[in-house]
Amino acid sequence: MEVFKKTVCIFILGGLLFSCKEEKAVPEQFHLESNGCSSCPTASVNYQYIRSNEKSLQKIHADIDKRIIRFLVREGTNAPTVAQAMATYTKAADYKQKFPEEDISNWNITIDGEIRYQDADLLSFEFEFYSYSGGAHGYGETVLLTYNTHTGDLLDLNEILLNNAHFMQLAEEKFRKQEDIPLDGNINDTGFMFPDEVFVLADNIGLNDKGLIMIYNQYEISAYAEGKKELEIPWDTIKAFLKI
């Protein structure tokens, strides 16, 4: 697909040299930051994207913008663009009516995203979403998004992987080894919280240059203090299980 790769060829007369290589499209950076109001919540959004007139790319970026908008403003709020959503979030007057005694100047949202993998067929992003609105700690999550570059559709787990028993066993063995859980022990013996004490694949699955990556966010399988858990499976191991 032209958007993601272009072929660069070098010729030398006389047929002495013919060389072609595929080059990936260079991502650009989207950056938006709230103004310097000292009594308002603050927000910043930074992520990579591929500039293109291709409808599939525009569909991908529209989906990403919708996710960012939903994180910035509550459901039902009319904010068609990221900039308008940020302006809505940072309006101090709205919060002061609801929380007159609350110091909201330290409330904040940060959203950072990067392209972790791209080829002619796939585009995979990793986003870090974080929000603080008082209390002991904020809320954060990592979101992996993998898209079909021809259709612009977001791919789910079953569209990326042959989710069969063999792959499940492979992933569990790798997870147990990484987290020092005996192969013959209960998966939750070391403090994890897998439902029904049975290993499950993360819903949060993406791709990077090393292979497939799975991320379990805080509270999914362990306590908040443990942070997110990340499992990476190299390309040479997973290629037999990929649908894509």
Residue 213 placed within a domain: yes
Instruction: Say if residue 131 is in the same domain as residue 237.
Output: no
Supply the range of the domain harboring residue 64. 27-148
Torsional sign, CA 120, 126, 77, 90: negative
- Co-location of 144 and 193 in the same domain: no
- Confidence (pLDDT) at 134: 85
The predicted-structure confidence for 27-38, as pLDDT tens digits, reads as follows 899 999 998 778
Cα(66)–Cα(79) distance, rounded to whole angstroms? Answer: 10
The residue out of 148, 181, 215 marking a domain boundary is: 148
**The pLDDT of residue 38:** 81
204 and 237 both lie in a single domain: yes
Same domain, 234 and 188: yes
Q: How confident is the model at residue 12, as a pLDDT?
A: 47
Amino acid at the residue 112 = D
Task: Report yes or no on 119 lying in a domain.
Answer: yes
pTM of the predicted model as reported, rounded to 2 decimal places: 0.85
Looking at residue 16, its pLDDT comes to: 47
Q: What is the pLDDT of residue 76?
A: 67
What is the structure's pLDDT at 6?
47
Number of domains in the chain: 2
The residues of the chain scoring below 70 in pLDDT are 1-24, 75-76, 92-94
Alpha carbon distance 121, 204 (integer Å): 20
**Residue 18 confidence (pLDDT):** 47
CATH number at residue 165: 3.90.640.20
